[in-house]
């Protein structure tokens, strides 16, 4: 082993690094201090590694050669978007990790300009911020009254804080749900100061269980939709209509956490039915709350609809100020609701993906597959199943179509390294790309990504062989 001092002799001085053309260009772009800082950190890291004796002489030289690339990568990481756009080829339409419902650029033209957020244009004076969206939500959902907050967790927190704090709410043990992203119904209830009165069993709860749970402290019944799981087999539970009748006979309201925000009969797209918001209100629910970014296909939001006596006080509650949506969510929600109202569902990306005929997906897969094979990528068309995802219809999928390419984990990794990253899945050691979640105008990009990733894979294998 060479003497300690000589092991450091390969490490370039900071001022030498700063003379490299790439880093000079970076300094012109970003300013001198961040580039200097990145060089210093990279060199310090390398000195530490050399000092620890983990690197042989050859490895030290290699690490010095790699410094420039490392510094450029760390600089890029500081300027790249934190939330890059990706191509979702997973076939999961509401992918929680990929932002649930994708939005259309057409939804938000007014966001780039001043807008009449709290301004009455006709009168030329201060207007109401909440009233326009409330009217819109109420009309679309067929509800007397409505409120919008940041998400469905906030909707429940507000509803319970306002009406059941310090009192009991009766919920079936089969509905004490956890939704991804750390939403747990019992914990939200506790945070609102509500006392949870559990009734029944995981698989079976009877109307009589609810009746027996009522005491002088009972404030409401609550039903939580089993969004992301199913209990099958020996199961039973009262209908919303039966529960509403019992609650009302005892002077109590029925709250329903519907979750998905289904406004339309899902059978229209070959999916199993979910209770729609309107059907729950019609069955007697006093309040229904749900997310804005699931089956509504909009921005993250929580919507609360129902009878005025329960919903209207929520907009005046002190917590409302803390939970109210910002202008971006209000503008986006307004656009999405107008599309629902006019039945222009094709304007909502979620519904345009649901509506693409299988034949169209097959044609696209055929076209992309031919071009890929011509470029030396052994892709084949593949019948797939796409899923709604996002805590909706957990066990049901719809026919879809895509491409399969041999490649395994390494290929999915190379696809993610493409710009824009392509997110795919693996089935039987083949990489599967479902086209239902890929907008057709991204087909060419997907093709480029596959060609680039596949050649990367082969270069890798050649190097390894």
Ligand X SMILES: *Cc1c(COP(=O)(O)O)cnc(C)c1O
Q: How far is the CB of 330 from ligand X (least distance, A)?
A: 16
In angstroms, the CA 401 to CA 89 distance is: 11
Q: Which of 163, 225, 364, 436 binds ligand X (CB under 6 A)?
A: 225
Does residue 259 interact with ligand X by CB under 6 A?
yes
Task: Between 91 and 259, name the residue whose CB sits nearer to ligand X.
Answer: 259
Does residue 152 interact with ligand X by CB under 6 A?
yes
Task: Between 148 and 404, name the residue whose CB sits nearer to ligand X.
Answer: 148
Cβ-based neighbour number of residue 67 at 10 Å: 18
Task: Between 8 and 229, name the residue whose CB sits nearer to ligand X.
Answer: 229
Q: Which of 179, 336, 348, 379 binds ligand X (CB under 6 A)?
A: 179
Task: Between 259 and 402, name the residue whose CB sits nearer to ligand X.
Answer: 259
Q: How far is the CB of 389 from ligand X (least distance, A)?
A: 11
94 and 351 Cβ atoms separated by less than 8 Å: no
Task: Between 178 and 346, name the residue whose CB sits nearer to ligand X.
Answer: 178
In angstroms, the CA 394 to CA 173 distance is: 19
Q: How far is the CB of 368 from ligand X (least distance, A)?
A: 34
Q: Which of 102, 238, 302, 381 binds ligand X (CB under 6 A)?
A: 302
Cβ-based neighbour number of residue 405 at 10 Å: 24
Does residue 153 interact with ligand X by CB under 6 A?
yes
In angstroms, the CA 205 to CA 450 distance is: 51
Q: Contact region for ligand X (CB under 6 A) — 162-170, 254-262, 362-370, 428-436?
A: 254-262
Does residue 103 interact with ligand X by CB under 6 A?
no
284 and 254 Cβ atoms separated by less than 8 Å: yes
Q: How far is the CB of 294 from ligand X (least distance, A)?
A: 6
Backbone angles phi, psi at 134, to 5 degrees: -60, -45
Q: Contact region for ligand X (CB under 6 A) — 134-142, 219-227, 321-329, 451-459?
A: 219-227
In angstroms, the CA 247 to CA 239 distance is: 12
Q: Contact region for ligand X (CB under 6 A) — 9-17, 177-185, 308-316, 377-385?
A: 177-185
By CB under 6 A, the count of residues binding ligand X is 15
Per-residue 3-state assignment (H helix, E strand, C coil) for 440-463: HHHHHHHHHHHHHHHHHHHHHHHH
Omega before residue 130 within 30° of 0, cis: no
Q: How far is the CB of 345 from ligand X (least distance, A)?
A: 21
Q: Give the angle 155-109-117 at the CA atoms, nearest 5°.
A: 50
Q: Alpha carbon 214 to chain centroid distance?
A: 38
Within residues 382-401, the interface with ligand X by CB under 6 A covers 391
Does residue 260 interact with ligand X by CB under 6 A?
yes
Task: Between 257 and 430, name the residue whose CB sits nearer to ligand X.
Answer: 257
- The separation between the first and the last C-alpha atoms of the chain, rounded to the nearest angstrom, is 32
Backbone angles phi, psi at 400, to 5 degrees: -150, -175
Q: Contact region for ligand X (CB under 6 A) — 23-31, 164-172, 175-183, 381-389?
A: 175-183
Q: Which residues are within 8 A (CB) of 278 and not within 5 positions of it... i.e. 6 or more apart?
A: 141, 142, 143, 263
Q: How far is the CB of 319 from ligand X (least distance, A)?
A: 15
Does residue 224 interact with ligand X by CB under 6 A?
yes
85: tokens are 């756009």
161 and 317 Cβ atoms separated by less than 8 Å: yes
Positions touching ligand X (CB under 6 A) are: 151-153, 179, 181, 183, 224-225, 227, 257, 259-260, 291, 302, 391
């Amino acid at each position: 082993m060479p003497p300690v001092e000589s092991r450091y002799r390969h490490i370039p001085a900071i001022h030498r690094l700063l003379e490299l053309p790439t880093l000079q260009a970076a300094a012109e772009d970003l300013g001198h201090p961040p580039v200097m800082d990145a060089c210093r950190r990279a060199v310090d890291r390398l000195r530490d590694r050399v000092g620890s004796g983990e690197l042989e002489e050859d490895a030290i030289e290699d690490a010095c050669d790699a410094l420039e690339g490392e510094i450029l990568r760390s600089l890029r990481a500081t300027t790249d978007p934190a939330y890059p756009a990706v191509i979702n080829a997973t076939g999961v339409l509401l992918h929680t990790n990929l932002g649930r419902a994708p939005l259309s650029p057409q939804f938000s033209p007014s966001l780039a300009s001043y807008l009449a957020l709290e301004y009455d244009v006709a009168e030329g004076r201060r207007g109401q911020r909440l009233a326009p969206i409330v009217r819109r939500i109420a009309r679309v959902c067929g509800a007397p009254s409505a409120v919008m907050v940041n998400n469905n967790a906030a909707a429940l927190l507000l509803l319970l804080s306002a009406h059941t704090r310090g009192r009991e709410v009766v919920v079936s043990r089969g509905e004490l749900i956890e939704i991804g992203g750390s939403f747990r119904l019992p914990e939200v209830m506790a945070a609102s100061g509500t006392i949870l009165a559990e009734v029944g069993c995981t698989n079976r709860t009877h109307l009589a269980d609810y009746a027996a749970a009522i005491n002088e402290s009972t404030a409401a019944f609550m039903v939580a939709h089993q969004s992301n799981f199913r209990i099958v087999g020996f199961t039973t539970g009262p209908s919303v209509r039966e529960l509403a009748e019992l609650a009302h006979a005892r002077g109590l309201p029925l709250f329903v956490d519907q979750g998905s925000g289904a406004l339309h009969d899902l059978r229209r797209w070959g999916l199993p039915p979910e209770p729609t918001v309107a059907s729950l209100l019609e069955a007697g629910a006093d309040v229904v709350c749900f997310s804005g970014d699931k089956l509504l296909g909009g921005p993250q939001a929580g919507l609360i609809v129902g009878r005025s006596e329960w919903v209207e006080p929520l907009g005046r509650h002190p917590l409302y100020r803390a939970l109210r949506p910002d202008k971006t969510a209000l503008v986006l929600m307004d656009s999405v609701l107008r599309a629902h109202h006019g039945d222009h569902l094709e304007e909502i990306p979620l519904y345009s993906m649901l509506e693409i005929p299988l034949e169209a997906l097959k044609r696209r897969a055929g076209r992309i597959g031919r071009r890929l094979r011509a470029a030396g990528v052994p892709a084949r068309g593949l019948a797939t199943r796409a899923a709604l995802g996002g805590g909706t219809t957990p066990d049901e999928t719809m026919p879809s179509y895509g491409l399969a390419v041999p490649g395994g984990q390494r290929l999915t990794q190379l696809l993610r390294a493409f710009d824009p990253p392509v997110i795919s899945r693996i089935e039987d050691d083949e990489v599967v790309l479902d086209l239902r979640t890929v907008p057709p105008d991204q087909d060419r990009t997907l093709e480029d990504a596959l060609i680039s990733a596949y050649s990367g894979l082969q270069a890798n294998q050649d190097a390894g062989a």
